[in-house]
Amino acid sequence: MATLNLVRNKNYYFYSILLFAFLLPLSRAAVSFFIVMLPLMWMFQGDLKDKFVYLWENPLARALSFFLGFTTLSLVWSQNFAVGLDIVRLYGYWLAGFVIMTSLKKEQVRFVISAFLYGMLVSEIIAYGVFFEVWSFKNATVENPVPNMFWIDYSVFLALTSIILLNRIFSEYYEKKEKVFFFFFFLSTTGNLFLGYGRTGQLALFIAIVVMGMLYVHWNRKSLLYLILTVLLTYTAAYNLSNTFQKRVHSGIKDVTSIVEQKYDNSWGIRVVYWFVAYDILKENPLLGVGVGDFESAVIESLQKNDYGISKETKKFMEEQHAHNQFLMVLIQTGLLGLLLMLYIIYKIVTLPIDDQEVKRISILFCTVYFVSCFAEPLWFKQFTLALFVVFVGVVGVWSRKNEN
């Protein structure tokens, strides 16, 4: 294990991961570079046998490996092998998470999280500049002011940033002058979130604040009161000050009303129909699913058997899209066994015995934001949100190690 200790102590791993976290919200090319570079560094360092044994002793790494292994195995009963192989390739991003778990020291984790926050600060400056038409970028518009990311995905980044900042404001680890900075950073991040169209992040943030209140209520009731006021003020201000958020709220209410009337030709209605489709597919393939590569063909076949009361245009849209839900994607592809393995990953993240209270809260809040958002989008099928999972699961997984030696 001597070489493994040497690997963990090498500064170039720490600085590489630090730079990865900072550039994560800023550059698609940087994400691709570090996803490839980190595992290559790790393998060329040698002592692979010891490293794999070390990973196997890590309960979170084991949970991730079980899911990866079963998903890869589902290629055996998948008819569309090439499509399945491409999806398995995406899950290969998780290898960088294993590198982070074994290469960081526990005291370095906060620096990596801070690097992510500063990357988001730069990203927000760019987004605000586009929104207020101070500057322009090729792929950025006032409606989607982030040049490198779709607004739904960016809303997840913003929600996570907001809840980490809010947690730091209430944390006992920081001085007042630091908390003043965090407060204004929180205001700008949350304002950015509600200026955009990302209802996914807006809902995830709301639930994360509720969870955060539950984490703080045992030791400080005043903090809980402040959190309740924060929720009320944040969402009331967003509704009154942001025309975009107000329109999205009204649109959501309209969608729900249509769903009650069994009219599904709208954004939320399509997501409901995907639940119907997943149920019908699952009845025929309950345990193993249809295979990692057969999602699209299974959905098309199900829609041909039953139109679920949707228009031809909506049906065509659904045949060409993903399920807008990571849980449903896993359920259809790998059945109930795959879903159980996914839930096992969540369980392992939440129950990690982390002795640093701030990082422990961040692990739970990350889990909340990320997997609530998974109900609206398949985050493991998108580059930026997949890389976000890799970085945070990696830094959280550092605490799965029994000791530093």
Q: What is the pLDDT of residue 404?
A: 52
> Does residue 207 lie within any of the structural domains?
yes
Question: Quick one: which of 137, 93, 101, 77 has its CA closest to 290?
Answer: 77
> Does residue 215 lie within any of the structural domains?
yes
Q: What is the pLDDT of residue 52?
A: 82
Residues in the chain, how many?
405
Q: What is the pLDDT of residue 8?
A: 45
Number of domains in the chain: 1
Cα distances from 115 to residues 23, 98, 134, 165, 343, in angstroms, run: 9, 19, 26, 13, 29
Q: What is the pLDDT of residue 45?
A: 79
Region of 384 please: left (phi>0), alpha (psi -120 to 50) or beta.
alpha
Distance CA(25)–CA(121), nearest Å, equals 9
Q: What is the pLDDT of residue 363?
A: 94
> Does residue 172 lie within any of the structural domains?
yes
| Cβ atoms of 84 and 329 closer than 8 Å | no
Q: What is the pLDDT of residue 116?
A: 97
> DSSP alpha helices (H): ranges in 132-198?
151-170, 176-195
Q: Which two tokens stand for residue 131?
A: 């929104």
Distance CA(400)–CA(102), nearest Å, equals 10
> Does residue 339 lie within any of the structural domains?
no
Distance CA(318)–CA(264), nearest Å, equals 12
> Does residue 364 lie within any of the structural domains?
yes
> Does residue 17 lie within any of the structural domains?
no
DSSP helix/strand/coil, 42: helix
Could you read off the pLDDT tens digit of each residue along the chain, which spans 405 residues? 444 444 444 588 899 999 999 999 999 999 999 999 999 988 887 777 877 887 888 889 999 999 999 999 999 999 999 999 999 999 999 999 999 998 888 889 999 999 999 999 999 998 888 878 777 777 777 667 777 888 889 999 999 999 999 999 988 889 999 999 999 999 999 988 888 767 889 899 999 988 988 887 665 566 667 777 877 887 787 777 767 778 777 777 787 788 778 788 888 888 889 999 999 999 999 999 999 999 999 999 998 888 788 888 888 888 888 888 999 999 999 999 999 999 999 999 999 888 888 899 999 999 999 999 999 999 999 999 999 999 999 999 987 765 554
In which domain, by residue range, is 202 found? 151-261+354-375
Q: What is the pLDDT of residue 1?
A: 44
* H or E stretch at 50: helix 48-56
Q: What is the pLDDT of residue 2?
A: 41
> Does residue 167 lie within any of the structural domains?
yes
Q: What is the pLDDT of residue 49?
A: 80
Q: What is the pLDDT of residue 10?
A: 59
| Cβ atoms of 156 and 203 closer than 8 Å | no
Tracing tokens 């690997």 back to the chain, one arrives at: 7
The alpha carbon of residue 352 and the mean position of all alpha carbons in its chain are separated, in whole angstroms, by 18
> Does residue 236 lie within any of the structural domains?
yes
Tracing tokens 């980490």 back to the chain, one arrives at: 164
Q: What is the pLDDT of residue 173?
A: 87
